Structures are given as structure tokens and as C-alpha cells.
Amino acid sequence: MKVDHDEQINQLFQASQVRSEANLKQKRLVFKLIQQIKDVNQTVKVDSLWKKIMELPDKEAFERGKPIVEKKNDLV
């Protein structure tokens, strides 16, 4: 069975508990990275996620000259 990540993202961020200060592009990037680096327990450390974001090429990490995710606290 193929997992539809776009549908998962939409469901995840439409939940009422999620504060929506981030735009959809930010959410998609973070969700994609979480899927890549989660461990066998399905967990991800914020520091690991932040490191992965800092390693992204500029074309993926920036939008209109500004970082997609500006601060580590924004990930939480």
C-alpha cells in the first residue's frame, strides 16, 4: 500500500490542536524531513531535525531570500 504523504500532511495540520503560524511550505518541508530521519521508535530529536534543515541546499531551504524555517524553536 502506497502512503500518500500529501494527504497525511493535510490531515496532520488540519487538526485543531496544531497552532498554525507556519505556512504550508514550512509544514511540508518539516514533515518530509521527519519522515527521512525518524528512528525505529518513530521519534525525531529537534536537534537532529534542525541539523538536517541547516544541511539543505539553498534552493530547498530558502524562499524569496528568507529561510523557510528561521529558528529552531519554530520547529516545535
Q: What is the mean pLDDT of the chain?
A: 77
pLDDT recorded at residue 12: 67
Instruction: Inform me whether the pLDDT recorded for 21 exceeds 60.
Output: no
The range of the structural domain enclosing residue 64 comes to: 5-75
Please state the pTM of the whole predicted model.
0.60
Spatial CB neighbours of 48, under 8 Å, sequence gap ≥ 6: 37
In 3-state terms, what secondary structure has residue 45?
A: coil
Spatial CB neighbours of 67, under 8 Å, sequence gap ≥ 6: 61
Euclidean distance between CA atoms 76 and 74, whole angstroms: 5
**Structural domain total, the chain:** 1
Instruction: Inform me whether the pLDDT recorded for 18 exceeds 50.
Output: no
